[in-house]
Amino acid sequence: MFFSIPNIAALMNRYYIEYRQLIGAFFFGDVLERVMFFIAFGMGLGRAVAQIDGVDYITFLAPGIAAGSGVFIMAVATTYGVSNRYEGSAIWQSWLATPVRLQDILLSELIFNMLRATPSLVILYIVAYFFDAVPSVSGAILSLPVLMFANLVYGSITLNMGVYLGRMLYFRYIQALWVMPMYLFSGVFFDIKEAPEWMQVFANIFPLYHVLEVVRPLVLGRPVDLAQALISFTVLSVIFVVAFCLAYNQFKKRLFD
Amino acid sequence: MNIIHAENIQKSFGDFEAVKGVDFKVPQGTCVGLLGPNGAGKTTTMRMIMGLSSLSAGSLKVFDTPVDKVTRAEKMKIGLVPQEDNLDPDLSVRQNLEIYGSYFGLEKSFIQQQADSLLEFMQLGEKANNRVNHLSGGMKRRLIIARALIADPEFIILDEPTTGLDPQARVLIWKSLLKLKDQGKTLLLTTHYMDEAQRLCDNIVIVDGGKVLDEGSPKELISRHVKNHVFEVQKPVPEALQDSDIDHEDIGDSVLYYVNNPDKVKHLLPDGITYTQRVSNLEDVFLRLTGHKLRE
């Protein structure tokens, strides 16, 4: 499977035009919601929980919210967004009548939404900084490429679910069975090492857990276990490649009969 | 040279055979019409030509290249006008043309020049900056045709280009398609409007049930199947006419009689008989070959 850079560039330009038109909706959806989560839990629950994993609760929470924000953005984009484009307006079909190919379309969808989600990460870190919740600014900056890659991984997984999103209400399944469990059981809000053992084992199936294993130490200014980081990166890369190929094959069956 | 050469092409979806062995050619510079009732396999055939649907069997060559090996350069020479309106709803009329042109990797200056001339060609200049959702059905179809022409293709596939349009919009589209023919473009058209096919097509392929029933120029098909004149005589049909050996077809409430010399029927019709007489057209051929029963 080869990708065409000119095709992907042309598609990215088209997404950018859409983004410019809807920048307000994207901004409120992507940024504000996450910032509210951060402030509400950080300031609210943070009063009750004095310290967690050796830091203030709000400081513990900041990398968690950052790492988890892409889960929602990518899930919505690769299911609702994708379904709209290939079933609703059927513009994918019009693109496929040009030299643009399916793999170019799928990768562009992922890259565009990953890029679109990135400013929200930066804004979240800036807000957290003003709450004195970013112990290592350089660590937070270093975590950005990790989180951008993580967002591609989340997107490649939910892209497989987007194939079957025949009815918009089916998104509830994706939310209930994938997005929320991953968000709640990967250690965004609490230290997974303190959780019951079954939950610690359960957390392993979620990419977000593996991402947090790298991102949280980075932002907290702690040494990152390089061996662990390498394992996490390898696992996530394999997930990305497998999920992308599966999604490609499913869409191919669906679109090309 | 043939732009399309289909030999015994077949397509099955599970147990259902949508296309059961179709042969046809589209010679360069001609307009070929693929006609058939709903479910005849026309759209599936179009999709196979575009590489959007794989062949179950047979051979299909586009620009002399097997369809699954069509190169990027060859694909750039094909313009598709699909049946459905799949314009980009987030873009303006002009952007729909320009952004679509960018998918072909064309120079920006060439795309802009093409967009200008196509907006004029399809009489959409005044709407250039409108969102496509604000266009009428006729304007959307014109924009879709313009979009298919953005890369200046040699070969244009039109899947029911005027379905659902008012007569004015249809005439405008016909004029544009005839201009394209004059420019030497090759067209492959499907339509349910026989007058459209008769007006535009040099050659017609009639398909039904996934098979070719007959093909030829509109004139050839008419003389082969229905002669020059048709009389529709309400039942009960006069005995003299019933006993004659005139080519006819019973369509329920009435009987159709096909003749080259109208007097042959007229002198067998007594006064008071209800009938209509007209010059035969492609619709008569189509109904004769595919039957008068509703398909869906």
Q: Which residues of chain B are under the pLDDT cut of 70? A: 292-296
A91: nearest CB among B86, B95, B151: B86
Whether the CA torsion B98, B28, B208, B219 is positive or negative: it is: positive
Query: Is B172 an interface residue toward A (CB < 8 Å)?
Result: no
pLDDT at A6: 93
Structure tokens at A131: 């709450």
pLDDT at B295: 58
pLDDT digit string, tens, across residues B86-129 = 999 989 999 999 999 999 999 999 999 999 999 998 999 999 99
Domains and CATH numbers, chain B: 2-222 (3.40.50.300), 228-279 (no CATH)
Question: B82-103 burial, b for 16+ CB within 10 Å, e for fewer?
Answer: beebbbbbbbbbbbbbbbbbbb
CB A245 within 8 A of CB A226: no
pLDDT at B296: 57
Please determine, for residue A237, whether its predicted confidence score (pLDDT) is greater than 70.
yes
**Residue B230, beta-bridge partner list:** B258, B278
pLDDT at B272: 82
Q: Do B52 and A91 touch (CB under 8 A)?
A: no
A89: nearest CB among B13, B72, B86: B86
Whether the CA torsion B56, B59, B60, B62 is positive or negative: it is: positive
* Cα(A181)–Cα(A79) distance, integer angstroms: 17
Mean residue pLDDT of chain A comes to 91
Query: Is A47 an interface residue toward B (CB < 8 Å)?
Result: no
Q: CB neighbours of A56 closer than 8 A, spacing ≥ 6?
A: A46, A50, A133
What residues of chain A lie within 8 A of the CB of B54, using their CB?
Answer: 256-257
Q: Do A99 and B86 touch (CB under 8 A)?
A: no
CB pairs under 8 A between A and B: 69
CB B86 within 8 A of CB A92: no
What residues of chain A lie within 8 A of the CB of B90, using their CB?
Answer: 17-18, 21-22
What residues of chain A lie within 8 A of the CB of B108, using their CB?
Answer: none
Peptide bond into B236 cis (omega under 30): yes
Q: Within 10 A of A55 (CB to CB), how many other CB atoms are there?
A: 17
Distances (CA, A) of A8 to A26, A95, A101: 22, 12, 9
Q: Do A17 and B80 touch (CB under 8 A)?
A: no
What residues of chain B lie within 8 A of the CB of A14, using their CB?
Answer: 88, 91, 99, 102
pLDDT digit string, tens, across residues A78-97 = 998 888 888 878 899 999 99
Q: Do B87 and A94 touch (CB under 8 A)?
A: yes
- Interface with A, mutate which of B102, B140, B149 (most A CBs under 10 A): B102
CB B197 within 8 A of CB B282: yes
pLDDT at B267: 85
pLDDT at B14: 87
Query: Is A17 an interface residue toward B (CB < 8 Å)?
Result: yes
User: Cα B12 from chain centroid?
Assistant: 23
- Interface with B, mutate which of A94, A105, A108 (most B CBs under 10 A): A94
- Strand B31-35 with B186-190, pairing: parallel
Query: Is A254 an interface residue toward B (CB < 8 Å)?
Result: no
Mean pLDDT of A92-116: 94
pLDDT at A196: 92
Smallest Cα–Cα separation from B200: which of B226, B175, B172, B230? B175
Structure tokens at A202: 């359960």
- Strand B186-190 with B203-208, pairing: unpaired
| Confidence grade of residue A162 (pLDDT, cut at 50, 70, 90) | confident
Summarize chain B as % helix, strand, coil (round to 5): 35, 30, 35
Query: Is B80 an interface residue toward A (CB < 8 Å)?
Result: yes
Is residue A191 classed as helix, strand or coil in its secondary structure? coil
pLDDT at B286: 87
Query: Is A14 an interface residue toward B (CB < 8 Å)?
Result: yes
Which range, of A15-29, A108-122, B187-201, averages the lowest pLDDT?
A15-29
Mean pLDDT of A49-64: 90
**What values do phi and psi take at B77, rounded to 5?**
-90, 5
Is residue B16 classed as helix, strand or coil in its secondary structure? strand
pLDDT at A55: 92
A256: nearest CB among B53, B82, B95: B53
pLDDT at A90: 87
The residues in B 245-274 lying below 8 A from A, measured between CB atoms, are none
Q: Do A257 and B91 touch (CB under 8 A)?
A: no
